Amino acid sequence: MSLQLLKHFFNPQSIAVIGASVNVKRAGYLVMNNLLAAGFNGPIMPVTPKYTSVHGVLAYKQVSDLPITPELAVICTNEFRIPEILKSLADKGCRAAIIITTETDHDIANSIYEVAAEHKIRLLGMSSLGIINPHNLVNASLAHCNALPGNIAFISQSAAVCTTVLDWAMGKGIGFSAFVSLGDAKDITFAELLDYLARDTKTQAILLYIDNIANAREFLSAARAISQHKTVLVIKAGSSLLGAKAAALHSRGCFGHDSVYDAAIKRAGMLRVHDLHELFAAVETLAYANYLHGERLAIITNGGGLGILAVDNLVEEGGRLAELDQPLMDKLNSCLPSNWSHNNPIDMIGDADPKRYATSLIHLMDSDQVDAILIMHSPSALSDSEETAKAIIDVIKKHKKKKQINILTNWSGEEAAKPARKLFSNEKIPTFRTPKGAITAFMHLVQYRRNKKLLLETPTRLPEHLVYDATAAAEYIKQNLNEETLSAKLNTYFTKPLLDAYHLNTIDTHIVQNIEEAIDKAKIIGYPLAVKINSPDIQYKSQVHGVMLNINNARELDSALKSISERVKLVLPNARFSGFILQKMVASGLALELRVMIKQDAIFGPVIAISQDSDARDLQSTLENAVVALPPLNMALARYLVIQGIKDKKIKVKQHAKDFDMDAVCLMLTQLSQLLLDNPEITDLDLNPVLVTGNKVTIVDGQMQLTSDIQNASSRFAISPYPKQLEENVVLKNGEIVLIRPITAEDEARHQVFDNSLTEEDRYKRYFSQRGKMSHEEMAILTQIDYEREMAFIAIRLNQNNEQETLAVVRASIDPDNIDAEFAMIVLSDLQGLGLGKLLLKKLITYHRDKGTHSISGMTMLSNVGMAMLAKSLGFKIERDIEEGIINMKIDLTAEPAQ
């Protein structure tokens, strides 16, 4: 990708319109008209062999006739001519083009993309409506109207959704920083546009309409980066199976499962809305909202019924009503009639006049009891709608906390309420027609706040004694990977050694060939027993009632196994029969039964799912009834998954379930995530049931599917996993051995200790100023990194208490084009001079050279001669900037490394 090239789409200095026309029904006419109407102040060059001029602008017969190289070309011609046009544009030096066409044949579209790639031209489209950038007076689109300037960027794969949103926003007076119709997104992608908009100062929030995603890791990496400082909302088409298939066909992509998209959107810190109505509400809220500091909502109303409806909606969506303390109650009592509700919602009674509204609002805004206020009004002959709105607007304008508290309004009704709603819109105060619309908008702010909080939550450290035996697991798979195991679902007996290697609690499992062997084995195991059919052809034992529980003696065992055998012969006569599985019965009366799975999604790769639906067989129904997360998981993410499952009633904790231990379940999920990361041969794992009794989690039964195709296995994961292969023990000059490894989210606490222990001089050299203790949010950003686009290596050792201690860190952030990585490094003062800094910087250089990064750069203070000399010894070019008081350091990684 090239973000530099994307500026030609958003801020071109010259535009050519290929296929410009004077025919009002042609795309070439509309694009020319929109460019001129928007006031674009660069050269507009129509290209057409038919006309001398278009809209009064001199036309050129072919691309080669253009007097200058256009920075952007808008192609409005028949698709069969596009390859030829692209070659001509390339010869002219143009590198950016928008293809405005109707639906195009798949083969033709592919050939167009091949030609564009060959000639290094970036394409927006096929099937694009075009692009609008109101701030730069660019409207290179087929849109029926221009966009107003604003701070929201809108990117959509659907041209129809583009025009709908544009029409609505125009009526509301809502503006945009960019308006992009992406088309099928086969070249320029959502990820590239997110990276570009992350650096655009005029964009504060981004709205995405998605049919499907092509490169999940690229998309999530860009989304996670931008979500740290800008709001991103997503409307994802295809929440149903049929809808997902239709969305994929619309943009010529694969379709993924909706629950997985949902999990991915949350994991990236974005907010999902589910329809255009909800999107419109979210846009209006985003356009005008302040940062939400908390979730406490106060409601002011002149109608009790409206207030109750709002509270019902709030509770249903998981919101929080503010509690009014006594000092606030006293103030409200002083300005409201004696029969007001004396509670939140604050029902001021039907005759509430503008003064009553204004005074109540002032008291609420003065208080520290609320984070947001919903002001409601129903039509009343006793209360002037417009005057009330004006009084409220006046209070908000003058109040010192107007930038701290979010205000939403709901003026119910139609004709009587319209003028007041118009007043609010003009003053950039969110306004809604219904209580539900207002509450939904408020909950968008709440959910976004929660998603961001999750993004920065510090995970609990895993127990120190929990050491996985990844080597044993890998060897076990290697020994057992053959044609037979690859073609079958492997049973509990096979999966047990793998689960044991990751300290996942299982029960002893035995395989017997026949009834006689079963009876002999039962004498050793002891009763009661569970018995199960063992067949590579029977994936779901319930097909043949192939499980029988609580077998108490040999007679019952003989009868049970004969019954199972007969049912197999009757129902599946051709199934291969491999005997029986015997297990000691586990008391499950007080246990919570879960089903925990690893499944493969067509878009996002491996996912981890939990449900209590033990009978679901196909992937769609399995995921519909489960809560889903993307690996890798840590304890914080696992906890969020379980809480989400309970909230969505996908996990129902029985009242009599004995001491359900949340941490134990989360630890099991984290262990399972690591099993998956270390063993890419695992494509499918179904643990069913998993029994939770107190802090004991026991896997009773499991099936596994393996693959031998593990080339680039880590790339299967939508989120780049911890690169364990980069761990390295090194020896310092004093003989001490320390471990250099990538930083993890669990390092936050020890990294805080490391940062606090820096001397004032070290801190000044690192941050170029004196700065205090870092907040949790700042430290979380430093430790919860995206390995796809940043890297931080830390050096650690064990202290006298046998706990890990951070000694030094080197980190680098890579630009999205992987051109330059900007680095910074710091080593504790008492360890300087032992060669640790050199070892860290060499490791960073090797890492980025392997990654294909073009260069590494950094800066340090003029006084930090030691850092400059170290960098120079490793091949960095050093330039001193006396005026700025800094030393610039840069190394070219494309050159051969010095020997």
pLDDT of residue 705: 87
Strands 130-133 and 176-181: antiparallel
Classify residue 214: in a domain, yes or no: yes
Please choose, from the candidates 793, 792, 748, 750, the residue with its C-alpha nearest in 3D space to the C-alpha of residue 458: 748
Classify residue 810: in a domain, yes or no: yes
Report how far residue 48's alpha carbon sits from residue 21's, in angstroms, rounded to the nearest whole number: 7
Query: Is residue 446 located within the same domain as residue 352?
Result: yes
Query: Is residue 317 located within the same domain as residue 400?
Result: yes
Query: Is residue 318 located within the same domain as residue 440?
Result: yes
pLDDT of residue 243: 47
Query: Is residue 268 located within the same domain as residue 350?
Result: no
Q: Is 362 helix (H, G, I), strand (E, B) or coil?
A: helix
Pick the last residue of a domain from 240, 264, 288: 288
Residue spans of alpha helices (H) in 598-740: 619-624, 635-647, 662-678
- HSE-CB at 197 with a 13 A cutoff on CA atoms is 31
Report how far residue 97's alpha carbon sits from residue 100's, in angstroms, rounded to the nearest whole number: 10
Pick the last residue of a domain from 420, 455, 490: 455
pLDDT of residue 247: 46
Classify residue 167: in a domain, yes or no: yes
Q: Average pLDDT by consecutive 10-residue portion of the chain (899 residues)?
A: 80 96 94 96 95 95 96 93 95 95 75 93 90 96 93 92 89 90 90 94 92 91 90 78 48 70 91 83 75 90 90 91 93 93 91 92 94 91 85 94 91 85 89 90 86 77 77 88 72 88 90 90 90 81 82 91 87 84 80 90 93 73 86 91 89 70 92 92 90 89 83 76 93 95 93 88 72 82 92 92 90 91 92 94 96 95 91 95 92 80
What is each CA distance from 384 to 73, 304, 412, 438, 459, in whole angstroms?
55, 18, 13, 21, 53
By CB neighbour count within 10 A (0-12 exposed, 13-18 middle, 19+ buried), where does 426 fall? Answer: exposed
pLDDT of residue 617: 62
Query: Is residue 283 located within the same domain as residue 295?
Result: no
Query: Is residue 158 located within the same domain as residue 110?
Result: no
pLDDT of residue 840: 97
Classify residue 523: in a domain, yes or no: no
Query: Is residue 386 located within the same domain as residue 268?
Result: no
Query: Is residue 258 located within the same domain as residue 329?
Result: no
Residue with tokens 């044949």: 105
Residue 361, domain extent: 291-455
Query: Is residue 422 located within the same domain as residue 399?
Result: yes
- HSE-CB at 171 with a 13 A cutoff on CA atoms is 8
Query: Is residue 295 located within the same domain as residue 251?
Result: no
Strands 886-892 and 877-881: antiparallel
Query: For the chain, what is the total number of helices (H) and then of strands (E)?
Result: 29, 38
pLDDT of residue 246: 47
pLDDT of residue 492: 83
Residue spans of alpha helices (H) in 128-189: 159-172
Classify residue 112: in a domain, yes or no: yes
Read off the CATH number of the domain in which 48 is found: 3.40.50.720
Query: Is residue 418 located within the same domain as residue 307?
Result: yes
Report how far residue 340's alpha carbon sits from residue 330's, in angstroms, rounded to the nearest whole number: 13
Strands 320-321 and 296-301: parallel
Classify residue 251: in a domain, yes or no: yes
Contacts of 291 (CB under 8 A, 6+ apart): none
Beta bridge partners of 766: none
Report how far residue 587's alpha carbon sits from residue 691's, in angstroms, rounded to the nearest whole number: 9
What is each CA distance from 271 to 243, 255, 262, 268, in whole angstroms?
20, 20, 9, 9
Contact 322, 298 (CB under 8 A): yes
Give the pLDDT confidence of 403-447 residue by residue, as tens digits. Answer: 889 999 999 887 888 899 989 988 888 888 889 989 988 998 888
The angle subtended at Cα 397 by Cα 394 and Cα 400, nearest 5°, is: 125
| Total number of domains constituting the chain | 4
Report how far residue 669's alpha carbon sits from residue 645's, in angstroms, rounded to the nearest whole number: 13
Read off the CATH number of the domain in which 421 is found: 3.40.50.261
Backbone phi, psi, residue 46, to 5°: -70, 140
Pick the last residue of a domain from 87, 102, 130: 130
Contact 305, 345 (CB under 8 A): no
Query: Is residue 743 located within the same domain as residue 884?
Result: yes
Give the pLDDT confidence of 629-671 residue by residue, as tens digits. Answer: 999 999 989 999 999 898 888 888 876 555 678 899 999 999 9
Read off the CATH number of the domain in which 828 is found: 3.40.630.30
Classify residue 633: in a domain, yes or no: no
Classify residue 717: in a domain, yes or no: no
